[in-house]
Each structure stands twice: as C-alpha cells, then as structure tokens.
Amino acid sequence: MLSGPERAIFDFKRVFVVLSNICNCRCIMCNNRHHSLGRSSLTFADVQRVARFALRNGAEVLDFSGGEPFQFPHIAQLIREFGSSDMALNIVTNGTIMTKEHLDAVADARSLRLQVSTHGLGAVEDSIKCRSSASRQVDKTLKMLTEASVSISLATVVQKENLHQLVDIYRHFSGLPYTHHSFVMYEPIGDTTAGYIDPAQVRIRPEQAEELQRQMTTVIDEARADGNAINLDGPLVEKYVERILSEWPEAEPHEANALDMPAPETAAPAEEHHAASRDFSHPGLLCTIPRRNLFIDHNGDVMPCFHFDWKALNSNCNIAGTAVEDLVFSPEYLDMILTAIGPGGCPGCDAACYIWDPDFRRRATQPNKDDQVVALLARRPHAVYAVGATATPDPEMQSALTRANARASYLDQALRTVEQGSSWRLTAPLRRLRRALRRPEHEV
C-alpha cells in the first residue's frame, strides 16, 4: 500500500457512490436505462465502508446517487448514520417517490442536502422521465421538503426536449429556498451505442444553439436580479454553444486558433488512442478530478472518474471483500491515474460534469495560454516541437511553452516527492508524465 509521500498526491474532495441501478424512472438521457442487463445494488455494509473511508480521509462531500437512492432499502439508515457528520451528504433524487420515513430521516440530518432533478414542466418533465405525473410529484416533494426546512438544490439536464423551457423552469422554482440551481448539458457517460440512449433524441442541434444561448442568458440575468445561485455564467454558456457546433459533423468548423495545427507526419497521433479529433473543452492532461474524487458504481467497481475507459487499462478494482484503502492507495490504482492524466491518456471531457471543481471550471471555460499548451500536449504530444520550430512564433505562446516545459507544476512537485521519499519504483506512465512536464527549455 502507498505510504505518506504517495498518498500526498490525493486530495479527496468528493466521494460518489452509486447505490443501485434500480430506478422508477427511465429518463431518456440517462445511461441507467439498461435494466435488461440486470439489476444490481451495493450492500449496506459496502456503502458503510465507503462512507467511513470518505470520513477518515477528509472528503468534504459524500454523494449518493443511482438509480434512485430512495429505492435503496437502507437509505434511511444511511442518512441517520452519515447525514449529520462533519462531511456533507448530498443525495441526488428524481423527487417522485419520497415517503414519510424518508422525510423524517432527511429532516433530522443537519449536514444533508437533497439535489432534486427537474428537467421540465408538465408534459415535458413526464416525457423526459418516462413517468406520468412526474412533474406533479416533483412539485409535491419540493413543497414537502421546503415545509420541513430540508436543504435542497435543483439540477436540470439541458437537452433538445426542454430547450424551449429553460427560462420557464427557472421561473417556476425561483421562489424556493434552494442553495443553487444547476443547468448542465446532456453529456454521454458510458456506452451510448447499445440502444440505451438515442443521442438524436437528446442532443441539441446546431440550428438550436442560438435559442440555447438566448434561454441561458435570460436565466443568468433573472437569477442575478433575484439573488439566486445558479451554475451558469457567460463563458460556460459560450462553451456549451461551441460544443453543440462541434459535435455535429455537418456544422460549420470553428476557426483554428494558434495551437490548432497538425502534428508532424513522423509523430504518432494521440488521436489513435481515443479516436477523437475534436477539441475537448477540458484537457485530460493533469486533470484534477482523479486526484480529488472517487467513484464507486452499483457493482462495487472503483474508479477515479466516470468518463475515462478504465476497463481499457485492465482495471480490476472492486470493493467486494477488499478494504477501500487497500484499493485506492495501491500502486496499481495510482498507476491508472497517471496513465489517464498523462500524455496519450484521457482526451478530456466537457465542463458539464465537474463544474463545481474550480480548477476544472477555469481550465474548461477560461483557459489561459498555459492551459492551451497542456491541452495541446495531451492531444498531440509532438506538436510542441512544431510550434517551437515556427519561424515567427507568437511571443505569448512561446512563453507559455517555455513555462510548460521548464516549470515544476503542483503535480510534478508531488511526483518528485514520491520519487525522492519512497522506494516505490517509477512506472512507465509516471515517467512519461514527468518527461511531458519537464522537457528542457532548449527543446521548445
């Protein structure tokens, strides 16, 4: 198991636990619709072990999701045990099946917040959740929670079916005492090719991008006037629009920036690893998410992020019969992370999922030159030499490249600590990452 210096790489902020894949709704954008593959749930003991791991290791937030958490048979017990700890407990619910027992448990939990998913009003909500009267049930649940002074937040997944309702959704709930209302774009997670999700049914088309921008801008303006907290701002909306325009092959290509240049013909393109040529909003290289977060799915599989294909790394991390510390603080787990956030690893993803992480959000929505260079290294590791060889390079970009190659970043400092203070041998992914971070300045 990793010792002190190696553990210093981790800085846990949130631990996410998918209690079960069982749900009374069949939301059209949710990859949890594939119940034909069988229902599965964690055991009560497994969830307890993970929650206690989060407490011991200083996690700030423990997230329970599903499926529908309030269909997990032991949810009330879990709320009573962890809902008043020093760690915040966040439960993501569709808001349609809460019972009096559930209400009694959440009303007594001082550190709990319920995140209620509301994706539309009236027939739109019913259609998206594939459940008649879903909209009416959500309104009833929110009224009940508000009367019991339970802390609530709202989450709306923006998609084709509710695009025209975003302002109305905001206005409908704006009078509630919620902590914040998040509007996040639909983003595929996991396998969307096996008939579980029809992307054409949920993805917003390029010709709808202007309406998206209008609706979201109005929400921003009204929320500011009302004093309500939302996740949206101008740069994030711009990124949402850019993403829509880039996802459809028939859309007009965006203008290339100074860093969008082909890699030399002699270079092995990083795109071959992840079959992606588009520019992702957030670079996978040096991503903060795997170091700050932990994800356990309903099968007990442990992963640093829901988006990266850990199975491709032959990952076999499962909490069944194993202490969580033994998995997470193992050289094998750290090796997975270093592979994912190193050159040729994860290509990056949209800002929708991790906008609560300040570093992720900044790099995704307002990247500086250093961030752009890191993104370039992630997509095309050899292109840095093409930029350096340019006859008249952009001085600002040249300075950014120099910093990218010469500086010791916060992660590199942690890796050097591992190398100097431990007998743990540097693996190939770590060595590749070190080389990417510390190329000599004369090679720029």
pLDDT tens-place string over residues 278-337: 344 565 667 788 888 899 999 999 988 877 777 777 667 899 888 999 989 888 888 888
Q: Which two tokens stand for residue 337?
A: 């992370």
Task: Quote the pLDDT of residue 44.
Answer: 96
Q: What average pLDDT is seen over the chain?
A: 76
pLDDT in tens, 191-203: 444 456 777 889 8
Give the span between the Cα atoms of 369 and 379, in whole angstroms. Answer: 15
Nearest to 375 by CA among 343, 339, 351, 405: 343
β-strands 61-65, 88-93 pairing:
parallel
Task: Quote the pLDDT of residue 416.
Answer: 52
Give the span between the Cα atoms of 169 and 165, in whole angstroms. Answer: 6
Give the span between the Cα atoms of 437 and 411, in whole angstroms. Answer: 9
Give the span between the Cα atoms of 230 and 36, in whole angstroms. Answer: 36
In terms of pLDDT, which residue wins out, 437 or 26? 26
- The answer to which of 71-75, 102-106, 378-382 has the lowest mean pLDDT is 378-382
Give the span between the Cα atoms of 155 and 152, in whole angstroms. Answer: 10
pLDDT in tens, 222-256: 999 999 999 898 988 988 888 788 776 554 443 33
Give the span between the Cα atoms of 35 and 195, in whole angstroms. Answer: 12
